[in-house]
Each structure stands twice: as structure tokens, then as C-alpha cells.
Amino acid sequence: MKVAHNFNAGPCVLPRQAVQAAIDALTDFKGSGMSVIEVSHRSKEWESVMNECRALWKEILNIPDGYHVLFLGGGASMQFLYVAMNLLENKAGYLETGVWAKKALKEAKGIGNAVAVASSADKNFSYIPKGYEIPKDLDYFHITTNNTIYGTEIKTDMDSPVNLVADMSSDIMSRPVDVSKYALIYGGAQKNVGPAGVTFVIVRDDILGKVTRYLPSMLDYRTHIQEESMFNTPPVFSIFVMNETLKWIKSVGGLKSMHKLNLDKAALLYNEIDRNKMFEGTAAVEDRSIMNICFVMAEKYKDKEEAFMTFAKERGMVGIKGHRSVGGFRASTYNACPVESIKALISCMQEFEKING
């Protein structure tokens, strides 16, 4: 079997045990004689998966009472609209740290009064803004905790005088999070907690039902709370794989262990980028993401970029091409990316340096 070192930004590498469980369930789900993609979402067998998955989210993230965990369709991009529809009455503030933060702000502006409180656009989103003040008259303040395209990350849970909303699509479950500091957390599963097709939402009850606008049933968080994420047929296969992925996270020691592993992996690769004369990082050092490690060829070796891409691909590296909007390279080192893949990429970089440096 071909060995691939998967650094794709999403859909991304998954735990092997989750993949194997999915293969088994596609053949026979819980001894039902049916595939997991055939079984009724109203069956007791499926409801047990939904209940277990919700319970794992609450346990692993230590989610306090007063919050609901939802599994929805539409991706994080749909949540850009959901958030504004459900929470924006007078004014909302956004921290503009990249493409996805800008898109979230755009959707909010289509609903009402939404502004960028601070932005790092002046340096092509290569850092996280600091020293700004969150206005106290906001309905909520929205942040994107990890920026996949530019490789920056907000690594701590900030204090906010207003409801704090976070898109955690690409760093959820990578570290312990103080959920009590957030009014709402959402994200696509396809980075750290499953395959594409399901979106997680963690929402505090007391922030809902405050807007005066009409909310379509499908866009009202309360609908999905009342129907336990089954107002319409949920993305069953994606939720099944998510559940198996959460089991794996728990089995390796939970988020403290996961965070240490992620820090160690990122340090290995950043150390090589800083040491190797052919490469250089693009994000401010203090804001470097431990999930998406972005780098480019040093100016002297710019003409070697395509050669390195080919060189790396021949050695099993998959998905290291930077986002089309910024170029360069990006290694996404999400939870399930094994340290062996990091070491293989480092060896590849060192070998390329010996030949071309």
C-alpha cells in the first residue's frame, strides 16, 4: 500500500482507527445488517451514536451546564450567517485576521451593523492584532482562532466584555479551551474532528431569542436544540466518523496530551524552517499556528519552489502547496497528523538543501 504523508488543510488526515471503524460500519452498522449510510436516523442504533458523540464533546472539552452541542450541515460558511441572524440586533464587532474572518464579517454586514474592531490586513494577515479594545456596546465580538491560509493562531482564551463568538474550525480539540469564556463556538469538522459534511456548534442558551427579526426555522439555533440536531436528516456518516475521532482523542489522553503532541510537532517543523537557509516562515513568530505551518522559499532560492514541490511529492508529501491566494508551502499538522510525517517532511527539506543549497 502506498504511504502518503498527508498535510492537506482539509479534508485532512484522520485517525486510522476512525477510518477503520467507518469501513466496518459501511458494511454492517452495529449488527443491523445495514450500512451506516442506510440506517434510519430515527433508529435506536443511530440515536445512541448521536448521544455518545454529544457526551464526548461535553466530556473532552469540559463544557459547562447551560450549553448545547449541535451537529448541523452547511459548513462554517453557513454559520457566518447563522451567527448574525441569531445574535445581531444592534451592532457586532469582528476581529479581521484573514479570509474566513472577512467572509464572516461580510455576511454579518448583510444582516445589520457589523464592523471590524481590529485588522491585520495591513501586513497580509501575517500577525494577530493586539492592543485593541472591544467596545462594550456590541451584541457580540467574533474571532477566528486559527487562520489556515496565513498560519496565525490565537492561542489563549481571551476575556471579553461582550458575548464572545469563535470560529474554531481548524484548531478545535487541539488544546484545552475554557468554554465558559465563549457564548458560541462553531466550526467545520474536517480539520481536527472528522470528515467534511458536519458542522459543530456549542451555544450558550441565554444568548438566544434576543433578536426581533423573523428567524426561519432552519436558521434558528433553538429549532436544532429542541430537535436535538435532527430537525432534518443529519449528515449521519460524517457524525459517525466524528464520534470515532473523539473516541481516539479521549484514548490518547484528551486535550492536554493532544496539545503537547501538537506543540512538539510544530516545534520540530518550525525549528527546521528557521535552520534551513532555503526556507523561511511567513507568520509573526509569536503568532505562529501549531495547526497550519506556512513557509516560503528564501528570496535567494525563489526559483527552486516548483522543484521542491516536485521533490517533496516524489517522497510522499501530500498537500504542502500553499493556498492559491498566497503561494509558498503549507503543512497542516492537525491532531491526527503523525510525528513520523513531520520528520519525513523535515528529512525531505534537509535532503533538498544538501542538493541545492
323 secondary structure, DSSP code: P
Q: Alpha-carbon distance 262 to 272, whole Å?
A: 16
Question: 184-188 and 199-204: which strand pairing?
Answer: antiparallel
* End-to-end alpha carbon distance in the chain: 33
Query: What are the two backbone dihedrals, phi and then psi, of residue 218, each rounded to the nearest 5 degrees?
Result: -70, -20
Query: What are the two backbone dihedrals, phi and then psi, of residue 39, each rounded to the nearest 5 degrees?
Result: -70, 150
Three-state DSSP state, 320: coil
Cβ-contact 103, 325 below 8 angstroms = no
- Dihedral of the CA atoms 157, 160, 162, 165 (nearest 10)? -20
Cell of 96: 479581521
Three-state DSSP state, 228: coil
Helix (H) or strand (E) holding 144: strand 140-144
Which sign does the torsion angle of CA 239, 51, 229, 138 carry?
negative
Helix axes 339-356, 305-314, angle to 10 degrees: 130
List of E strands, 13-106: 67-72, 92-96
Cβ-contact 113, 137 below 8 angstroms = no
Q: Alpha-carbon distance 166 to 295, whole Å?
A: 26
Give the Cβ contact number of residue 251 at 10 Å.
11
199 secondary structure, DSSP code: E
Active-site residue list: 100, 167, 191
